[in-house]
Chain A
Amino acid sequence: MNDRIRRLREHSLNTPPRLSAERAIWITDFYEKGLALTESVPVQRAMAFRHLLENKEIYIGEGELIVGERGPAPKATPTYPEVCLHTAEDLALIDGREKVPFRVDAETMRIYRERIEPFWKGRTIREKIFAHMTDEWKRAYETGIFTEFQEQRSPGHTAMGGKIYHGGFQELIDHIRRRAASLDFINDPEALDRFEELRAMEIAADAIVSYARRHADMLRKMAAESSDPDRRSELLQMAEICRRVPARAPESFWEALQAYWFVHVGVITELNPWDAFNPGRLDQHLWPFYRRERAAGTLTEERARELLCAFWIKFNNHPAPPKTGVTLKESSTYVDFALINLGGVTCTNKDAVNELTYLILDVVEEMRLLQPSSMVQLSRKNPDRFLRRALRIVRTGFGQPSIFNTEAIVQELVAQGKSVVDAREGGASGCVEAGAFGREAYFLTGYFNLPKVLEITLNNGVDPRTGKRIGLETGHAGAFLHFDQLLEAFSRQVRHFVDIKIRGNNVIERINARHMPVPFLSLLIDDCIENGKDYNDGGPRYNTSYIQGVGLGSLTDSLTALHRHVFEDGTVSMEQMLAALAADFDGYDGLHSTLVHETAKYGNDDDEADEVMQAAFEIYHQAVDGRPNTRGGVHRINLLPTTCHVYFGSVTGALPDGRKAGVPLSEGISPVQGADVNGPTAVVKSAAKLDHLRTGGTLLNQKFLPQVLADDAGLDRLLHLIRTYFRMDGHHIQFNVVSPEMLRRAQAQPDAYRDLIVRVAGYSDYFVDLSEALQEEIIRRTAHAFR
């Protein structure tokens, strides 16, 4: 990397995240002054968006090539008081906490205390949501049965398709006007709503164009003041770019990157969607610009690399907005889940890997940044060179890129009713979630604690931690004569809690649709303009809601142990088992050893456990899949945890697989930490027995000794392992390659290991930023590989 990039990168890495009051001030200003009181909600939101972009400070850093910051400077992170208000108490906590802190200075604290908090108290989406949740929802939430993604963040969760590269916002405005002119007020009862939504979109489109031009003005001013002739001409060139895009379709590689970046900043300024936003299939979108300019001789490979590096650094400047409470626990990270997709297939099902794909992989390796995340979509059609290049980066041990199966993604999306072309142009975003990029709103609504539901089942609906009844009375576990009766009771409890969750989801969707539309994001996702409907209100072509199952491995091993020892062999009675669980196995060493060492475990290609896993999967799938949401779509499942398996573990007592109370659950579809003793082929085979194609994504974490990957022969074996997993329709696999000794050293001297990045679960994070429980879990996971 050249000096400029090194400086920008260092600056991004060394700047500590801090909280910025800027956005909170301007949004409060807008609503305090009642600037749009007579307007419809979408128009109000669009005007508020414009107010933010008109007034926020413009930041252009020294040497920057791509411009636009969400806050007044890199890492200056805004809050979104209209969604979630941070009280002075919250801010003190956020400032002082050990993990994932944001610095809050005294002045910011004062502004929040005196101005933000008094105005927004009682008006936030978060308060509306909690006011509408039933007592049973609240009990389940507090017990740790499920989490709620939308209680501090707006839904979001989508990725950009190709449309901003083919047309500018001027074309979008033309489209909006055509659509508004064609509204049928005589026959369409929603015509006025559509009209207002379209008006809002037009205001938002204008706002982003003006925002880009504010940058152009500033750049010209800086050029005039610059004493360095090279920089001066660069600044003028950048001014020209910001004057053209995103108003018009980009014409150069540089313009394409800058156009996306303005759009990205727009999405994360409008609201705080979870996940932030994502350019999606970056190598596909940029390839026409790259190829054209390379052929014309107007772009060198070095310049393209430099621009991409500058682009990468912009993502790293933007930590996820500060979270608190359960939401912090389920996603304890600065990562805001922009996952760049590389490779895969084209819309006509051809190998999509191109020379730019390889250049971007170079950038991933060189930048070695937390954000953006990167992944490779591996199709049968992609050459081995592509995967080998990706694995060489994996080998360096920072957890990127993760590896996805294109054929699985396409089949999953098609099975959900998407067109095959939309599916091919899709990919995975966030951690592992399959989506039709540019055309789908696929909300993640919360994690679901499967092992906890088993615990509740074993206690006849009572949570043993609190003694409170939160589930159904499905019968005393000691009275079950057959394993099937236990499964039936478990299944009813799952259904019970899923019902509670879906009721909550549907209410929350309506609250967001009605009170918190996102006209800017709606501009970007087809077919919101055509439908005259907001992204949050079913405007997109596809509208899906996910509930993410957590702890499949722990659940499977627990059910397998009960099946084997209680129901089949009868070597331990259910009463004894319940007593051992209640005692956290204290005084039950013999039973504990049997459960841990002499019981079939998921992850070993052992059908005894794997068939139980399949049964458990079916129960969860059946409880969720296909159930309607309020946006014309349905609920689906996926299986991923972020950091929620740690939180869920902390609220779950001892389990029949020998796991003690409070210990993290298994993550994604990975086996219980340390339970897989037959090597990676067995893990992959067990995992492939799950029907991936009926999910919207699964997460499989594998750990590797660095030695395995040290030589090319090892790399090839890994390549074949992945190809075989994908041949069996596996969705995703990712790798951690670090030694446990190194992790112990990092725990002892965190300062010396600030840059140590490990794969957590669907994303990578700084090891020293992880909670101690998660650190321990990763060490256990890693040590296991070194036995």
Chain B
Amino acid sequence: MDTTGIVFRIQKFALHDGPGIRTTIFLKGCPLRCVWCHNPEGQEPGEQVMQPLSGSSAGPQRVGRRFRVEALLNQIEKDRLFYDESGGGVTFSGGEPLRQDVFLDAMLRTCRRRELHTVVDTSGHAPLSVMEKVAPLADLFLYDLKLMDDEAHRRFTGVSNRAVLENLLLLNRLGRPFRIRIPMVPGITDGESNLRRIADFLEPLDAQHGVDLLPYHRIGEGKYRRLRMQLPVEMPANRQGIDMEAAAAMFASRGFRVHIGG
């Protein structure tokens, strides 16, 4: 068992990544380049250096640490009692967790043996074979749907949405539970027609456990700077008054269990 993975953050007491109290493992590396990305340190697959916050006496910070399965499990196990008490567990997020599929597969199998509840928080952008392998191992998928228009999807995320939609249909076929998450990015994903097309697409799927509308905050800028990365030109500004309620009402009226926030 020498499988290793690169993790860029371990977030305990994660509140919005599935049921109960959870530890979220952020796996490094993502094939997408969403212009609104607030976790730019999750994009590159390898280790990086992040400069300290201005005004902090701390030195530069290494982002990305290689873990063996056992070592990462030890971190996850630390909060076992909290999972037991709250019906929580571990969430694998990213970056794009399916990108480190061998490691993810090993983690999910070990978690299952140890009776840890698992969630995979994914963009869905991965080869069908990878999704096929992982689908039966996770207890729940948090599945991002961003843009139904393929052209727009390519423009704002850098990749086509074909694999995303096919993988979602696969999950549904296999009867694996998933929640849909829609990042409500002003002027990009929050358009009425995009949301309606998402609803159209989801309507026939029966394994879905609801829709989360995620509010957008432009909070990643500092991190781009500290990573010496170029800020995406099209990164939208915060917009006040984005009508989450109306969007939620639309989904609700079509029979979805909808929730604002993660």
Contact = CB atoms under 8 A, between A and B. Distances in A.
Contacts of A596: 57-58
Nearest to B11: A679
A685 B75 CA distance: 13
A720 B15 contact: no
A713 B57 CA distance: 36
Given A596-B57, A597-B59, A724 B81 contact: yes
A714 B261 CA distance: 11
Contacts of B84: 724
A717 B15 contact: yes
Contact of B13 (A593, A680, A711, A723): A680
A717 B86 contact: yes
B45 to A, nearest CB: 25
Contacts of B86: 716-717, 720-721, 724
B21 A717 contact: yes
B79 interface: yes
Contact of B82 (A678, A711, A716, A724): A724
Nearest to A597: B58
A481 B129 CA distance: 60
Contact of A713 (B12, B15, B78): B15
A326 interface: no
Contacts of A720: 20-21, 82, 85-86, 88
A234 B261 CA distance: 53
Contact of A593 (B57, B78, B261): B57
Contacts of A708: 15
A682 interface: yes
Interface in A224-280: none
Contact of A727 (B15, B58, B78, B81): B81
A62 interface: no
A714 B259 CA distance: 14
A424 interface: no
Interface in B80-101: 81-82, 84-86, 88
A589 interface: yes
Which of A589, A682, A713, A714 is packed against the most chain B CB atoms within 10 Å? A713
Interface in A622-678: 678
Place the interface of chain B in its size category: 10 to 19
A717 B20 contact: yes
A681 B79 contact: yes
B78 A605 contact: yes
Contact of B57 (A597, A605, A685): A597
A713 B13 CA distance: 12
Contacts of A721: 13, 21, 82, 86
Contacts of A713: 15
A477 interface: no
A592 interface: yes
Interface string A714-735: 1011001101100110000000
Interface string B1-39: 000000000011101000011000000000000000000
Contacts of B57: 589, 592-593, 596-597
Given A596-B57, A685-B79, A714-B15, A727 B20 contact: no
A403 to B, nearest CB: 15
Contact of A711 (B21, B78, B85, B261): B261
Contacts of B78: 605, 681-682, 685
Nearest to B84: A724
A712 to B, nearest CB: 11
Nearest to B52: A597
A724 B85 contact: yes
Contacts of B15: 708, 713-714, 717
Interface string A677-700: 011111001000000000000000
Contacts of B59: 593, 597
B85 A678 contact: no
A717 B79 CA distance: 13
A720 B13 CA distance: 11
A507 B236 CA distance: 72
B218 to A, nearest CB: 17
B10 to A, nearest CB: 8
A717 B59 CA distance: 34
A716 B85 CA distance: 11
A721 B85 CA distance: 8
A727 B11 CA distance: 22
Nearest to B20: A720
A589 B261 CA distance: 42
A678 B21 contact: no
A300 B211 CA distance: 45
A680 B82 CA distance: 11
Interface in A177-225: none
Contacts of B82: 681, 720-721, 724
Nearest to B78: A605
Contacts of B21: 681, 717, 720-721, 724
Nearest to A719: B86
Contacts of A685: 78-79
B59 to A, nearest CB: 7
A728 B80 CA distance: 12
B261 to A, nearest CB: 7
Nearest to B56: A597
B148 to A, nearest CB: 28
B211 to A, nearest CB: 15
Interface in B128-154: none
B85 A681 contact: no
Nearest to A713: B15
Contacts of A724: 21, 81-82, 84-86
A605 B75 CA distance: 10
Contacts of A678: 12
Contacts of A593: 57-59
A279 B79 CA distance: 38
B85 A727 contact: yes
A680 B15 CA distance: 12
A679 B58 contact: no
A742 B5 CA distance: 42
A679 B13 contact: yes
B90 to A, nearest CB: 13
B20 A679 contact: no
A708 B79 CA distance: 19
Contact of A723 (B11, B58, B85, B88): B85
A589 B13 CA distance: 33
A331 to B, nearest CB: 33
Contacts of B20: 717, 720
A198 B59 CA distance: 70
Contacts of A682: 12, 78
The CB with the most chain A CB atoms within 10 A, among B21, B58, B78, is that of B21
Contacts of B88: 720
A592 B58 CA distance: 10
Given A685-B79, A720-B20, A721-B21, A679 B12 contact: yes
B93 to A, nearest CB: 16
Contacts of A605: 78
A678 B82 CA distance: 14
Most buried by A among B11, B58, B82: B82
A682 B14 CA distance: 12
Contacts of B12: 678-679, 681-682
B14 to A, nearest CB: 9
Nearest to B53: A787
Contacts of B13: 679-681, 717, 721
Given A682-B78, A716-B86, 16 more contacts: A593-B58, A596-B58, A597-B58, A597-B59, A679-B13, A681-B13, A681-B21, A681-B79, A682-B12, A685-B78, A714-B15, A720-B82, A721-B82, A724-B21, A724-B82, A724-B84
The 8 closest A-B pairs by CB, nearest first: A720-B86, A679-B13, A597-B58, A679-B12, A724-B85, A593-B57, A681-B13, A720-B85
7 contacts: A593-B57, A593-B58, A593-B59, A596-B57, A681-B78, A682-B12, A682-B78
Interface of B: 11-13, 15, 20-21, 57-59, 78-79, 81-82, 84-86, 88, 261
